[in-house]
């Protein structure tokens, strides 16, 4: 298996994780390119998520994003607190 094939296989695996439970994914091709670059350089993708924990309008829907970020943390992304 060539290096390019191994990278493509890793990207497909990571995209499966990202798409799991999602109805729609906007910018899929751009994300695949970022994942390839991340794998080649060894630098994780940075995801920024801002939420005010003291805001009065926080609801259970915010947990969806938090659960997805937790799924991605080990291998794909670097989370930056805002």
Residues in the chain: 82
> Which structure tokens are listed for 70?
């937790």
Mean pLDDT across the stretch 42-68? 83
Mean pLDDT across the stretch 51-76? 81
Fold (topology level) of 3-81: Rossmann fold (3.40.50)
The residue that leads in pLDDT, 64 or 81, is 64
Residue 71's pLDDT is 81
Nearest of 43, 25, 33 to residue 7 by alpha carbon: 33
pLDDT band at 75 (very low <50, low <70, confident <90, very high): low
The rounded distance, in Å, linking the Cα atoms of 44 and 76 is 6
């Amino acid at each position: 298996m060539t290096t390019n094939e191994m990278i493509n296989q890793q990207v497909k695996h990571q995209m499966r994780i990202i798409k799991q439970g999602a109805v729609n994914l906007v910018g899929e091709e751009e994300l695949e390119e970022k994942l390839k670059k991340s794998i080649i350089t060894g630098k994780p993708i940075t995801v920024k998520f801002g939420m005010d924990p003291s805001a009065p309008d926080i609801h259970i829907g915010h947990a969806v994003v938090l659960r997805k970020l937790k799924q991605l943390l080990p291998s794909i992304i670097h989370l930056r607190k805002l």
